[in-house]
Amino acid sequence: MKKIKFIMSTTLAFALVLTSIAILTPKASALGLPLYQILYSQAKDAADQIPKSLKNGDMSVDLGKFKDKHGNTPLKKSGGTFQNGDWTLEPDTAGHLGYNGEKKVWKLKNPRKNNSKGRVASLDKYGNVIGD
């Protein structure tokens, strides 16, 4: 009988703890949507700074327009620095994620920009702008 009372009281205490955590913890969706909107807005602003001659869509950079010193493009090679005029693509090795959950693979830079050593945008492996 004592075991049953102990199990019931333990179960009740556990249920109360779970209920209080569920009530006091904000929902992930309540936090996620505003964060997504902020990160998407930053990526959109970064994409707006890129000239149309380098893009193949509103939020996508044409990786085939960048070449390294041997003529390779980021489509064929995943490392090294690629250039198109003043614009450069460098590998992003930090492993951070963009607004859409994709890993940031490339840093698009323009040395004429003064922020963060010229970084304008972060791109995924397909050339989509996913961060600033």
CA atoms in the 13 A half-sphere facing the CB of 34 = 4
pLDDT, residue 105, reads: 92
Q: What is the pTM of this model?
A: 0.71
Q: Is residue 83 part of a domain?
A: yes
pLDDT, residue 115, reads: 60
Q: Is residue 23 part of a domain?
A: no
Q: Is residue 89 part of a domain?
A: yes
Which residue segment(s) compose the domain that 75 sits in?
33-131
The pLDDT profile of the chain, 132 residues, written as one tens digit per residue, is 656 655 555 555 554 444 545 444 444 455 567 888 888 989 999 899 999 999 998 899 999 999 988 888 888 887 888 988 889 999 988 889 998 888 999 999 987 766 657 888 999 999 999 988
pLDDT, residue 61, reads: 93
Could you give the angle at the alpha carbon of 80 between the alpha carbons of 96 and 85, nearest 5°? 100
- Tally of domains within the chain: 1
Q: Is residue 26 part of a domain?
A: no
CA 117/CA 105 separation, integer angstroms:
17
Q: Is residue 52 part of a domain?
A: yes
Q: For 92, list phi and psi in degrees, rounded to 5.
A: -105, 110
Q: Is residue 5 part of a domain?
A: no
Q: Is residue 70 part of a domain?
A: yes
CA 112 to chain centre: 24
- Specify the residue for token string 């950079």: 61
CA 43/CA 47 separation, integer angstroms:
6
pLDDT, residue 76, reads: 82
pLDDT, residue 36, reads: 85
pLDDT, residue 18, reads: 47
Q: Is residue 7 part of a domain?
A: no
